[in-house]
Amino acid sequence: MSNNGLNADIRRVLGEHARLPVDVQSLSEEQDLFAAGMSSHASVNVMLALEDTFDIEFPDNMLKRSVFESISGISAAIAELQGQPA
Amino acid sequence: MSVLVDRDQEFVASIRKIASDIAGVHADEVDRDARFPRETVDALRESGALSAFVPERLGGGEVSLEGIARACYELGRRCSSSAMVFAMHQIQVGTITRHLDGAPWFESYLQELSTQQRLIASVTSEIGTGGDMGRSIAAVTPGQDGILTFEKQAPTVSYGAHSDDLFTTVRRGPEAEPGDQVLVLSRTTETELEPAGTWDTIGMRGTCSPGFTVRARFGAEQVLAAPFSSVMNESIVPLSHILWSFVWLGIATDAFERGRAFVRAAMRRKPGEPVPAANALSRVMSELSLLRAEVESGLRDFVAASADPAREYLGTISSVLRFNNLKLAASEQAPRVCMGVLEVIGIMAYKNDSPFGVGRHLRDTLSARLMVANERIHAIDAGLLAIAKEV
């Protein structure tokens, strides 16, 4: 798995928009972001910023808690979207 | 039932592809040059879409009205003119199918249409009738050797010069009253179209609908035998209002999508910061949902009423009012949505060369209130309201 670059970008977006009470670098890839303090309002901003950063659009079927609750979940969703032909 | 649903879905998917790959690509040029969307119609022909509404036993695709309506919507989202040409053709096909009553000439005509993917245009308006489709001046006139003829001065014939056949309303005979009408199907080889006017309009430019003097020579079997008033009330009027409305819904939906893309782009640039246009977009969404609700329920009501073999409801005053109201509501709501989007986006929507432009959408939907003028429909409804007990 060489998605370190991708995960670093995700962590940067989370750092700017997730409003976590803890340092995002201290979280593991599997850790629950909502449990760590991300509000649902903040998660919307995270989503918008991710769309801007990666030039993607999350389809409605990806707009669910499980996709955004961890760095690995977000990473898998973005990889899936980027894998699709434009 | 599920075979039917699959067939519909497959058909709508094929039209969606033609809409995005072909109609959408040429839409700006079709609009700018007021030229016929020939690439789209060629693709529709190639896919067999021109006979999609014809029963299978006559060589057609036997797609349901829902399928045809969704196809109008998909085309409307990409190219209004392509969508309107498609819708008008299907209205003629649907009308013939619903009223041919086993007539051998019309059955074999539909087979021919299916094999050759013939495009039908209609000639309903006439100079001197004040826009009243329920009256004609031109009449079926007996000629030599049993050949019948008519000559009609039509102020607009959509894609007349690009069609293969014409479906024309005329008086039954030289002595008939203006309201005693019949429908005649004539092939271009039997018809002469003498241009009488231009088509440089603010919208729906690719429908290419100038006036013509139409002269036809045809046989008695090419006159649809069903009573004209039944054909009007059970098919032509409601089918027109439903399929036109799906075209308008498609156009308005694409305008809304442009507004949404614009607002989302602004939100993504600065997540968390308020975007004033977002509230305006929400207001447009509620206008769009009203439009969608009326258009969808019009379709549902018509399908339900058509399930009755006697089509009893479709002959009632209540039914005439219902499908007139669909047209009135949809024709005013569609440009309202486009106008709302213009205000959401602002100058980027006003510019023709912007990806967020909605000028074409607004101009195209402004035709809606004029294709059978809403004031004329209100006049009809006003008269019916005087006697109707149930509306």
Test A52 with B269 for CB contact under 8 angstroms: yes
pLDDT at B79: 98
Convert the pLDDT of each residue in B75-118 to its tens digit. 999 999 999 999 999 999 999 999 999 999 999 999 999 999 99
Question: Looking at the predicted structure, is the pLDDT value of residue A74 above 70?
Answer: yes
pLDDT mean over B267-295: 95
Interface contact A48, partner B, CB < 8 A? yes
Interface contact A63, partner B, CB < 8 A? no
pLDDT at B1: 46
**What gap in Å lies between CA B349 and CA A10, rounded to an integer?**
33
B314 burial type by CB count under 10 A (0-12 exposed, 13-18 middle, 19+ buried): buried
Convert the pLDDT of each residue in B358-380 to its tens digit. 999 999 999 999 999 999 999 99
Q: Which residues of B touch A45 (CB under 8 A)?
A: 271-272
**What gap in Å lies between CA A20 and CA A14, rounded to an integer?**
8
Test A46 with B264 for CB contact under 8 angstroms: no
**What gap in Å lies between CA B9 and CA B345, rounded to an integer?**
34
pLDDT mean over B331-335: 98
For A14, half-sphere exposure in the C-beta direction (CA atoms, 13 angstrom radius) is 30
CB of B206 closer than 8 Å to CB of B31: yes
pLDDT mean over B59-79: 98
Q: How confident is the model at residue B2 (pLDDT cuts 50, 70, 90)?
A: low
Convert the pLDDT of each residue in B139-171 to its tens digit. 999 988 889 999 999 999 999 999 999 999 999
Residue of A nearest to B270 (CA): A49
Interface contact A46, partner B, CB < 8 A? yes
pLDDT mean over A60-81: 93
- Which tokens go with A13? 């977006």
Q: Which residues of A touch B266 (CB under 8 A)?
A: none
Q: How many residues does chain A have?
A: 86
Distance from CA of A60 to the nearest CA of B (A): 14
B156 closest CA partner among B202, B209, B195: B209
ipTM entry: 0.73
Convert the pLDDT of each residue in B300-323 to its tens digit. 999 999 999 999 999 999 999 999
B:252-291 residues touching chain A, CB 8 A cutoff: 264, 267-269, 271-272
Question: Looking at the predicted structure, is the pLDDT value of residue B390 above 80?
Answer: no
Say what percent of chain B tops pLDDT 70: 99
Question: Looking at the predicted structure, is the pLDDT value of residue A25 above 60?
Answer: yes
Q: Which helix (H) or strand (E) element contains residue B329?
A: helix B317-345
**What gap in Å lies between CA B391 and CA B384, rounded to an integer?**
10
* Cross-strand partners of B193: B214
User: Which of B260, B264, B267 should be substituted to probe chain A, the one whose Cβ sees the most A Cβ atoms within 10 Å?
Assistant: B267
The identity of residue B1, as a single letter, is: M
CB of B52 closer than 8 Å to CB of B71: yes
Residue of A nearest to B271 (CA): A45
pLDDT mean over B187-208: 96
Question: Looking at the predicted structure, is the pLDDT value of residue A86 above 70?
Answer: no
Distance from CA of A44 to the nearest CA of B (A): 8
Distance from CA of A2 to the nearest CA of B (A): 27
Q: How confident is the model at residue A5 (pLDDT cuts 50, 70, 90)?
A: confident
pLDDT at A84: 56
Strands B165-171 and B120-123: parallel
For B22, half-sphere exposure in the C-beta direction (CA atoms, 13 angstrom radius) is 20
Q: What is the average pLDDT score of chain A?
A: 90
pLDDT mean over B190-215: 96
Distance from CA of B261 to the nearest CA of A (A): 10
B199 closest CA partner among B251, B168, B151, B159: B159
